[in-house]
Amino acid sequence: MSMPNAFVHVDKVAKRWNGQLGVEDISLSIPRGSFVALLGPSGCGKSTTLRLLSGLELPDEGQITIDGKDVTLAAPSDRNLSMVFQSYALFPHLSVAENVVFGLKVRKVGAAERQEKLKRSLEITGLLGYEDRKPGELSGGQRQRVALARAIVANQPLCLMDEPLSNLDAKLRASVRKDIKKLQIDLGITVVYVTHDQTEAMSMADMVVLMKDGHIQQTGTPEELYYEPANTFVAEFVGAPPMALIDGKALPGFGDAETIGLRAENVHVADAGTGRLTCQVSECEFLGSETFIGLSHPAANGLTVSMPGLKHIPSGQDIEIAFADEDLHFFDTAGKRLARQGGARAI
């Protein structure tokens, strides 16, 4: 994915430690003002990629440019970026105000300008009135807002965030997630955001970069990863519940498709004798507005049907399911996405 006018451009970057793979052949083009999520399981290389962008690690191969400037070997301080960490990285003995303006003091910014930037950043992050408190007197969400305020006063066009919400509880994560997205839009900054949480990536990002084992599996909008997964890894990683994968031999008539993918919302329970597959109920998961019915079938993995409201079907009961050809996804023997097969269309 190459854009000639990209704000951040990563070209065939690799990083290894003692021969062990960190990332390999990473290429990315990030437009100015976009929100990009680096998503993937632990150990996939997303944090390494962020550290390479920041200058905390230097690549063994490849080139990194930011705003047209080659920063491949540049120090972090020469890259015009700010960072927000998972650990907040606040000084416990300093007040909120002192933590926020610490970087400005180091750069010898004048007192009047410091106060002006401090006030604006605290307004934006909802921390006015907390200036004199120490980090130990704040909640986890407030501490994360202090870290965000510190990034805002730096006034850098690029902000790198390394799993900043992982220390917060679920309700607070949802709240701060909205804060971060609003800040990014209001300030017009470019954000690169590392997360293992697909909900964060899919709800916040304009562009998602899904990684596995040091390689990029797919780069695209959240919609593209959900509706057009490039391979079976993407299909199973993105979505809750994940896409079910069915052995192509169980659904003949679709050409070269080794594996067929199917989302839960596209499956419905059929009357006896009218379904396309007969499955056995394995579990029922009630989520309030809907119930996910887990199904087992010898030729399928992860089959689920979504039903509105509260439903309970006893485990072990046989049910038939049906689905439309146009809702199927097709993958070859290597797990890569195939185009139209037989009578079905590519999504």
Among 2-6, 119-123, 149-153, 157-161, the least confident range? 2-6
- Please indicate, yes or no, if residue 157 is contained in any of the structural domains: yes
Among 4-13, 67-76, 128-137, 304-313, the least confident range? 4-13
| Whether residue 338 has pLDDT greater than 70 | yes
Q: Are 165 and 299 in a shared domain? A: no
- Please indicate, yes or no, if residue 346 is contained in any of the structural domains: no
Q: Are 283 and 210 in a shared domain? A: no
Q: Are 287 and 214 in a shared domain? A: no
Average pLDDT over residues 66-87: 92
Q: Are 219 and 317 in a shared domain? A: no
pLDDT value for 345: 39
Q: Are 78 and 174 in a shared domain? A: yes
CATH, residue 261 = 2.40.50.140
Report the predicted TM-score, pTM, of the whole model to 2 decimal places.
0.89
pLDDT value for 173: 82
Q: Is the distance from CB of 163 to CB of 88 less than 8 angstroms? A: no
DSSP code per residue over 255-289 = TT-SEEEE-GGG-EEE-TTT-SEEEEEEEEEE-SS
- Please indicate, yes or no, if residue 260 is contained in any of the structural domains: yes
Mean pLDDT of the residues in the chain: 91
CATH, residue 168 = 3.40.50.300
> Is the peptide bond between 241 and the residue preceding it cis, with omega within 30 degrees of 0?
yes
**End residue of a domain, out of 180, 202, 232:** 232
Q: What band does 347 get if pLDDT is binned at 50, 70 and 90? A: very low
**End residue of a domain, out of 178, 202, 232:** 232
- Please indicate, yes or no, if residue 262 is contained in any of the structural domains: yes
Cα 114 to Cα 108: distance, rounded to the nearest angstrom: 9
Q: Is the distance from CB of 165 to CB of 200 less than 8 angstroms? A: yes
Question: Quick one: residue 326, left, alpha or beta (phi over 0 = left, psi -120 to 50 = alpha)?
Answer: alpha
CB within 8 Å of 212: residues ≥ 6 apart: 40, 41, 44, 233
pLDDT value for 4: 52
> How many domains are there within the chain?
2
- Please indicate, yes or no, if residue 72 is contained in any of the structural domains: yes
- Please indicate, yes or no, if residue 166 is contained in any of the structural domains: yes
Average pLDDT over residues 299-318: 94
Who wins on pLDDT, 26 or 144?
26
Q: Are 221 and 254 in a shared domain? A: no
Q: Are 192 and 270 in a shared domain? A: no
Q: Are 81 and 130 in a shared domain? A: yes
Q: What band does 67 get if pLDDT is binned at 50, 70 and 90? A: very high
- Please indicate, yes or no, if residue 271 is contained in any of the structural domains: yes
Q: Is 172 exposed, middle or buried (0-12, 13-18, 19+ CB in 10 A)?
A: middle
pLDDT value for 341: 58
Average pLDDT over residues 101-120: 88
Q: What band does 18 get if pLDDT is binned at 50, 70 and 90? A: confident
Who wins on pLDDT, 180 or 269?
269
- The boundaries of the domain holding residue 248 are 241-338
Q: Is 205 exposed, middle or buried (0-12, 13-18, 19+ CB in 10 A)?
A: buried
Q: Are 247 and 195 in a shared domain? A: no
Q: Is 102 exposed, middle or buried (0-12, 13-18, 19+ CB in 10 A)?
A: middle
Q: Are 228 and 175 in a shared domain? A: yes
- Please indicate, yes or no, if residue 198 is contained in any of the structural domains: yes
pLDDT value for 88: 77
Q: What band does 103 get if pLDDT is binned at 50, 70 and 90? A: confident
| Whether residue 1 has pLDDT greater than 50 | no
Q: Are 61 and 21 in a shared domain? A: yes
Who wins on pLDDT, 93 or 179?
93
**End residue of a domain, out of 232, 260, 282:** 232
pLDDT value for 108: 86
Q: Are 224 and 248 in a shared domain? A: no
